[in-house]
Structure 1
Amino acid sequence: LDEVIGLQAKKVQALKQHKKGLMQQLFPAEGETTPRLRFPEFREAGAWEVKRLGEVANISMGASPKSASYNDQRIGLPLIQGNADIKDRKSSPRLFASQITRECWVGDILVGVRAPVGMVAKSEHHACIGRGISALCVKGEDRQEFLYQWLLWYEPHWVSISQGGTFDSVNKNEITNLVALFPNPSEQQKIAHCLSSLDEVIGLESHKLDTLKNLKKGLMQQLFPQEVA
């Protein structure tokens, strides 16, 4: 079983590395205006357009409610404070807040603005967002999934613009003025579909890995004697 788990772990890691390499090909490198790899139907589409995130998306910066409003009785809205409320790139709130400060909606892109800066996830909740989180929602014809995948690709670069202090952080101005390159909406959709399909495969294989680990854990509990009181 350990051998099977090891092989499955290598498969998941290989898929993640494949996606990482694919993103490096599908998004333009620094100083370039077109990617190295382009789908055949878009090879003559020309250079990508330079845009700031503030032009592309509505950006909401979180604000923490008073701690007295925190509860586990489901009063108010789920509370997303930061990385601790994210699991597997999805919102996973631990508490609720009866005082609503700023909100995010299902499908919004969540970006961590305090350590770890730049952490990217998707919201699966209509929730209250605390000061460690910002929520982005694409406006106009640009594609939400494309922006999500671009932010995943850009995630390691946030360190270069984060501020020093007790906690590294970025503010709304820095997020609003972050420059990105965007192709036309049709090419955005193609890239987004390619990468999100790969995410689905990675998710399925990761689930298989978790299942195998749980199987071994349960089997060990059956194969070894329980502690005698």
Structure 2
Amino acid sequence: MICKQASKQASKQASKQASKQVVYPKLRFPQFKKCKGWEVVELGDVFDFLPTNSLSRDKLVEENGLIRNIHYGDIHTKFSTLFDITKENVPFISSVFTTKIKESHYCQEGDLIIADASEDLDDIGKAIEIVKLNNETLVSGLHTLLARPIESYFSTGFLGYLFQANFIKKQIQIESQGTKVLGISAKRLNNIFVIFPSKKEQQAIADCLSSLDQLISEENEQIGRLKTHKKGLIQQLFPNI
């Protein structure tokens, strides 16, 4: 406990010093090399946290619903960093419980949904950015935090990747609490520092990384097809007895 507190204090002191300086990344696109450094601010200065629900998995259904629901387990296991609802299999809230959901709690494009619980230190605070809702109704559910930018500081797609940066992840790990299951609260997240450049540079970063994600997805699909083809060949090349 003492070691963790000391580490937390040292991290905060280092972050406060960093916030007074100009921050530059190790790698930068050529058109931005002469631009000013990245801004450093406390997360609570640029985000508001909105209410979420605590509906467990058994309160959700796979079809015939009106409100889709993000469960923290799906953030850990299947949802893409940049969440496009047309490309994801998202459960609905059972009609019995939809009356408890207020319209003011609906997600918007540009929101960040953060998993606030995990058994794995590397996954605590794992986040997805809502980039496309396709006019569907979506809410943030069990063990999640719903963060919304206060102003238009961020370009579409940037936040999802920002929260994969070691600078962010290490702060979240220090602020997390628990032994077997780790947790992070909105109050503690407000204390961490976030960094960001101009919106043009943000967009360039998001476009670059999302194109790599698309390539990875296409390669994984090709691997899946080859595995299926291999299984078929095995069944045909070896006779049955």
* TM-score normalised by structure 1 residue count: 0.70
Specify whether residues 142 and 44 from structure 1 end up closer, same or farther in structure 2 by C-alpha distance, changes over 3 A only: same
Contact 1:57–1:136 (CA under 8 A) maintained in structure 2: yes
- The residue type paired with residue 118 of structure 1 is G
For 1:112, the equivalent position in structure 2 comes to 115
Alignment of structure 1 residues 82-121 onto 2, 5 Å: 82-84=72-74, 86-89=77-80, 90=83, 92-98=89-95, 99-100=97-98, 101=101, 102-105=105-108, 108-115=111-118, 116-121=123-128
Shift of 1:167: 2.1
CA distance in 2 between partners of 1:186 and 1:41 (Å)? 10
- The residue type paired with residue 161 of structure 2 is Q
CA distance in 2 between partners of 1:46 and 1:67 (Å)? 46
Specify whether residues 73 and 202 from structure 1 end up closer, same or farther in structure 2 by C-alpha distance, changes over 3 A only: closer
CA distance in 2 between partners of 1:56 and 1:221 (Å)? 58
CA distance in 2 between partners of 1:183 and 1:110 (Å)? 22
Which segments of 5 or more consecutive residues in structure 2 lack a partner in the other structure? 1-16
For 2:39, the equivalent position in structure 1 comes to 49
Which segments of 5 or more consecutive residues in structure 1 lack a partner in the other structure? 1-29
2:190 to 176, 179, 182: 176
Instruction: List structure 1 runs of 4+ shifted beyond 4 angstroms.
Output: 66-69, 122-125, 221-226
For 2:5, the equivalent position in structure 1 comes to none
CA distance in 1 between partners of 2:58 and 2:160 (Å)? 33
Alignment of structure 1 residues 1-229 onto 2, 5 Å: 33-65=23-55, 69-84=59-74, 86-89=77-80, 90=83, 92-98=89-95, 99-100=97-98, 101=101, 102-105=105-108, 108-115=111-118, 116-123=123-130, 126-138=137-149, 139-154=151-166, 156-157=169-170, 158-223=172-237
For 1:22, the equivalent position in structure 2 comes to none
CA distance in 2 between partners of 1:41 and 1:201 (Å)? 24
Number of corresponding residues: 198
Deviations 1:137-192 (A, max 9, x none): 44314213111111122475233321014521100112233211111112112222
Shift of 1:66: 7.2
